[in-house]
Amino acid sequence: IGVLALQGDFLEHKKILAKIGSDVREVRLPEHLNDLDGLIIPGGESTTIIKLIDTYGFRDAILESVNRGMNLWGTCAGMIVASKKLTDPYPEPLGLIDIKVSRNWYGRQINSFEVDIPFKNIGPKLFPAIFIRAPFISSVNESDDSIEILSRLADGTPVALTQRNENYKALVTSFHPELTNDLRVHQYFVQMSK
């Protein structure tokens, strides 16, 4: 599993992947994508991450890698980067999962919150989800059988989902599993990428 290490909290993902026994690679150059089973695009600042993706030639390399079968997981800003559309006119996301996203929906850093939520496919125990300037999934085609909503807030808002595409699977979470001691979402992505 690779973790895009251009900006954001990539080290936290790397530590969890190492803790669960996964081979992990920091992805700093497009050629680091070679032979990966999965790539995590971490939380951070989405505009900066997308600028760096474009500056260092990652856009085509990521699109080619997923079309060869590399799975993808975007957390928080990574979900913005992976989405098909944004409610803002800029930046241009990668278009790898069929959702429309609003950035910083839940407010500023001071409005961060943690809530225990159910999360399909990782067991019955609630997951401690941490939301920091989190994005909001403003549009998703729930009738599309390639999409599975994995987790919702109490008001029904989807905050985690997967989509099966022709050559790859994409996972997005609007929260930060890498900031908890709960390893289950990382284990889920590793299993998904085998």
Catalytic residues: 76, 176, 178
Q: Which long-range contacts does 83-92 make (Cβ < 8 Å, 24+ apart)?
A: 83/172, 85/139, 87/138, 90/47, 91/46, 91/47, 91/50, 91/51, 92/50
Distance CA 105, CA 157 (A): 12
Are 39 and 71 in contact by the 8 Å Cβ rule? The answer is yes
pLDDT in tens, 29-63: 999 999 999 999 999 999 999 999 999 999 999 99
pLDDT greater than 70 at residue 109 = no
- In sequence order, what DSSP letters do the residues of 38-73 get, joined into one string? EEEE-SS-HHHHHHHHHHTTHHHHHHHHHHTT-EEE
Distance CA 44, CA 26 (A): 15
Q: Which one-letter amino acid corresponds to residue 66?
A: V
Are 27 and 3 in contact by the 8 Å Cβ rule? The answer is yes
Q: Over the chain, what is the mean pLDDT?
A: 94
Identify any residues that bridge with 158 across adjacent strands, giving them in sequence order.
Answer: 152
Distance CA 163, CA 171 (A): 7
Q: Is 75 helix (H, G, I), strand (E, B) or coil?
A: strand
pLDDT at residue 143, rounded to an integer: 84
Helix or strand run (H / E) with residue 80:
helix 77-82
Distance CA 15, CA 67 (A): 27
Once rounded to an integer, what is the mean pLDDT over residues 173-179?
97
pLDDT-derived band at 69, boundaries 50, 70, 90: very high
Radius of gyration of the chain (CA): 15
pLDDT greater than 60 at residue 135 = yes
Going by C-alpha positions, the residue among 160, 114, 130 that lies closest to residue 12 is: 130
Q: What angle do CA 87, 94, 137 make, to 5 degrees?
A: 40
pLDDT greater than 60 at residue 66 = yes
The CA distances from residue 139 to 45, 99, 110, 174, in Å, are 21, 6, 26, 13
